[in-house]
A and B are shown apart, each in its own frame.
Chain A
Amino acid sequence: MASPRLTRLRPLLVLALFLAAWWLAPVAVRSFSRASFSLFEAPGLIAYSHLKDLQDFWSLRDRSQGSLIAAGRDLQRHANDTDLQLQQDAATRTENQRLAELLLLPPEPGFHYEVARVILREETAWWQQIVIRKGWRNGIGNGQGVVFSGGVAGRVKQADEFTSIVELVSSPSFRVAANLGQDPNPAIYQGVVTAPFHAPAGEVRQLPLSLRIAPGTRLRLFSSKLSSVFPDGLPLGEIERLEPGSDGLFQTGVVKLDSRLASLEEVAVLVPDITPTLGNGSNPVPTGNPPGLR
């Protein structure tokens, strides 16, 4: 018969054996278990998302006819504005293509938008992420960029079959190349944890010492294609103030992100086209906001 001391240590041994088996298990086994559980949870998540949509639908039904007419009128204005922008975009794309052909430039990788509803949002001190209602069945893969009507939203962290986890631009582990639009010098953007009840924020490093912000103004920060995740020119945020960097060679900026990041309902994933194109009618290079995102 085992001694009482050994009996007391038995749970410890069982746990140690289980942990050893888990750590020694091949990565494929652990990944498979994760994917299996994600697949198992997907119907519940999708049902919850549809329930939220239904809730929105019924709350909209309670609106008065007058407010619906006003919303329809505003929507019509936006649609007209979007039509004009699309025409300008088409002209710009044609001009770009002509110049690229003249200069014999290699074709740039193209993207198309995969619009997805947001199921869950999570804003903890540890991470900031959302779960969206589309996965690798829709061509979404790990590491792809995610945008919304305000600019860059984040990056796909984990694409499962029906859902995907997106790491938000405000997450401390999110880091991409950025620039100031007219100034092509690359800078590094990284998300920063903010205190509760504060707007999402980030930090930009490696800004030149000569850079100044006039009082009462802000500098706009854009994505850079150097990141190979986002194309040039997507808004990241606005630089509020500059501080000297720790190395004394560069400046660091505090970036204010779009406050709508905390209430995302719909985003678009930038799915790279299989055949690289410079951007034609069927596979537009994203240079603005995808339509219909909230």
Chain B
Amino acid sequence: MRTSSHWAIFTAANILLLALTAMVNDGLAGWSLSLFIAGPCVVWPALRLPPPALLGCLALSGLAADAQLPTPPGFLMILFLAGALLIQLALPWLGSMQRARQIGLAWLVNALYFAVFTSWAVVRNQAHGVAFWEHAAVDFFLSQLIVLPVTLWFFDFQNSLLALAGLTAAGRRVGRTF
């Protein structure tokens, strides 16, 4: 498996997804709404890349997103790496990762990330008003609703990129190769 090409493709796809999300959020800003879509970025790299390539892919994707966020430097990068680690540790209990399970995993990871960002905002701003929780709840439900079709498309998109590069999407399960 040519992991060097794989990690570059996964990184480019992640950066594209994060940029598209930012553009959609720009359009939604008029209604005080936003989407949070980060879960799908982690799943395939965690399942298909060996450790050094996984580290490079998620560190680059996370730092690229961090550059435009008011969070501490490396916040999303650390979340990405922690998410990938959780997926790898859970692999023996998850069994074979069929497509539906991969999408479910992306949905779950996205929800976890949303919870972490919300906790960070609560601690940073002492934000606990009703409007804050209302806003967070609407954003959460909207994001979790949208993330399902987006993940479906994103995995197909990554598949297409791999096919264009003449690579196979089938990789080894990294959790057993550390």
Does A274 sit within 8 A of B, measured CB to CB? no
Contact with B along A161-194 (1 / 0, CB 8 A): 0000101000011000000000000000000111
Q: Does A193 contact B132, Cβ atoms closer than 8 Å? A: yes
Q: Does B32 contact A198, Cβ atoms closer than 8 Å? A: yes
Q: How distant is B132 from chain A, measured CB to nearest CB, in Å?
A: 4
Give chain B residues whose Cβ lies under 8 Å from the Cβ of A30: 73-74
Contact with A along B25-57 (1 / 0, CB 8 A): 110111111101000000000000001000100
Q: Does B29 contact A121, Cβ atoms closer than 8 Å? A: yes
Report the separation of the CA atoms of residues A125 and B138 in the bound assembly, to the nearest whole angstrom. Answer: 9
Q: Does B33 contact A127, Cβ atoms closer than 8 Å? A: no
Partner of B33, one of A15, A193, A196: A196
Does B162 sit within 8 A of A, measured CB to CB? no
Give chain B residues whose Cβ lies under 8 Å from the Cβ of A48: 23
Give chain B residues whose Cβ lies under 8 Å from the Cβ of A19: 78, 81
Q: Does A125 contact B81, Cβ atoms closer than 8 Å? A: no
Q: Does B89 contact A8, Cβ atoms closer than 8 Å? A: yes
Closest B residue to A39 using CB positions: B67
Q: Does B29 contact A7, Cβ atoms closer than 8 Å? A: no
Partner of B131, one of A12, A22, A198: A198
Q: Does B25 contact A263, Cβ atoms closer than 8 Å? A: no
Known: A121-B29, A173-B125. A18 touches B134 (CB 8 A): no
Range, interface on chain A = 35 or more
Contact with B along A14-36 (1 / 0, CB 8 A): 11001100100000001101100
Report the separation of the CA atoms of residues A10 and B26 in the bound assembly, to the nearest whole angstrom. Answer: 41
Known: A123-B29, A165-B70. A196 touches B23 (CB 8 A): no
Q: Does A18 contact B81, Cβ atoms closer than 8 Å? A: yes
Give chain A residues whose Cβ lies under 8 Å from the Cβ of B120: 126
Report the separation of the CA atoms of residues A14 and B84 in the bound assembly, to the nearest whole angstrom. Answer: 12
Does B121 sit within 8 A of A, measured CB to CB? yes
Partner of B118, one of A34, A125, A167, A194: A125
Report the separation of the CA atoms of residues A33 and B134 in the bound assembly, to the nearest whole angstrom. Answer: 35
Give chain B residues whose Cβ lies under 8 Å from the Cβ of A41: 64, 67-68
- Could you name 8 residue pairs across A and B whose Cβ atoms are closer than 8 Å? A15-B81, A18-B59, A126-B117, A129-B70, A193-B127, A194-B131, A198-B32, A263-B29
Contacts beyond the supplied A34-B66, A195-B135: 7 A-B pairs with Cβ under 8 Å: A11-B88, A15-B85, A38-B67, A126-B120, A131-B68, A172-B127, A173-B125
